[in-house]
Amino acid sequence: MQQPGTNAAYARTAMRTGSAYLRIVAGEARGVRLAPVPEGVRPTADRVREALFNSLGQFFDGGEVLDLYAGTGALGIEALSRGYERATFVEKNRRAAAVIRENLGRTRLTDRAEVVRGDVRGEVERLAREGREYRLIFADPPYRIAESEIGEVLPLLMALLAPGGRVVVESGGPLGAQQAESAKGVSRRYGGTTVTIFERPEPTMHVAICPGSFDPVTSGHLDVISRASALFDHVVVAVGSNVRKKTSKLPADDRARLIEKVAKPLQNVSVEIMEGLLVDFAREQGARVAVKGLRAGSDFEAEFQQAQLNRTLYADFETVFIMAAPEHSFLSSSAVREIASLGGSVKGLVPDEILETVQSFYYEPPMRSGNGEK
């Protein structure tokens, strides 16, 4: 029997998450509807989970998951559905722990999970004493206690990570320097939720920024991004918001989605909206390198000047240039926009996955006069 007020609280939660209920997004339990969210629990929305696992990797080949402040258990269950072997859920609230067990039953994953009721810090210390290791750790504390909790717990979580493992922290805003001083992470914002992904500090993770307006992303852009992903541990494609130029036909969010679509096979590439200075964005992402594509010698003069200015603002910041492939040396976003605006075909100039979208978005029908003539 539901507790009084549960339906109202669940309705409020549904409005925040953008759906009437939570479902498992992918894997063997794909589409399974989860139990109503208990009052006082803030679940990770389906769209945030989908975006998060797009960043982490779609599917996995075993390993253990630790889901802290587990709430509904949706994150850990999603990981089990996508291929993790076992999961441990830590949740202090009795009602939430019961919901986790119900959700494991609904997804038929009970035999691969352990639900522990207890305080997160105490349970993490116990797991560390037992020598447990996890390939993936979720920590989603209530936002009101996130600042004090994460700074204390994060060093312990890093000690629980298996080689190649990652810690995923959800918060209401970017983690401060003191909160995350024991590790460096990459943050991504999804509406009102900030997700920070930490990896084991050794070996050092080399992060590069690939900045641009990408209006739209072209086959040449994708070639440079792909080649950069082979050189660096992680590449962040930074989509400029163009708040000063105001010339883009597509908002930065739409341009970012197009890049996410074509770069989906590149598992170490993420896409972010960049506002302000490139060097400030690079510091936020823990990056010291910018990757730029060069089509011809004429490009180098402007890029050289920009690289020198960036080093003046950020002394440790370097710029790496990747030469355009010969078949893309003539290609630019402005040329694609002009061709598409006049109804010409841009096949081969942009990735096939977004061809129809680009043709539709950038096409400008001819103006007609009042008497019906062009």
Compute the average pLDDT of residues 340-359. 93
Over residues 275-331, the pLDDT tens digits come to 889 999 999 898 999 999 998 877 888 899 999 999 999 998 999 999 999 999 899
Closest CA to 78 of 118, 123, 114, 28: 28
Residue ending a domain, choose from 154, 174, 199: 199
Q: Could you tell me what percentage of the chain is helix, strand and coil, using 3-state DSSP and rounding each to the nearest 5? A: 40, 20, 40
Residue 164 located in a structural domain: yes
Q: Which of 149, 180, 199 represents a domain boundary (last residue)? A: 199
Does 186 share its domain with 239? no
pLDDT for position 211: 95
Query: Catalytic residue numbers?
Result: 221, 245, 295, 333
**Do 275 and 350 fall into the same domain?**
yes
Backbone φ and ψ for 235, nearest 5 degrees, come out as -120, 125
Mean pLDDT of the chain: 84
Report the C-alpha gap between 320 and 303 in whole angstroms.
10
CATH number of the domain encompassing residue 94: 3.40.50.150
**Structural domain total, the chain:** 2
Q: Clarify whether residues 149 and 244 are in a common domain.
A: no
Sign of CA dihedral 133, 138, 142, 143: positive
- Has residue 374 been placed in a domain? no
| Domain shared by 194 and 261, yes or no | no
Residues 263, 321, single domain; the answer is: yes
Question: What pLDDT shows up at residue 2?
Answer: 32
Q: Is residue 1 part of a domain?
A: no
Do the domain assignments include residue 30? yes
Question: Are 192 and 261 members of one domain?
Answer: no
Q: What is the pLDDT of residues 160-172, one digit of tens each?
A: 988 888 999 887 7
User: pLDDT-derived band of residue 246, with 50, 70 and 90 as boundaries?
Assistant: low
pLDDT of residue 146: 54
The reply to whether 78 and 140 lie within a common domain is yes
Q: Is 159 found in the same domain as 94? A: yes
pTM above 0.75, yes or no: no
Residues of the chain with pLDDT > 90: what percent? 56
Is pLDDT at 32 greater than 70 in this prediction? yes
| N residues, the chain | 374
Residue 261 belongs to domain spanning: 207-361
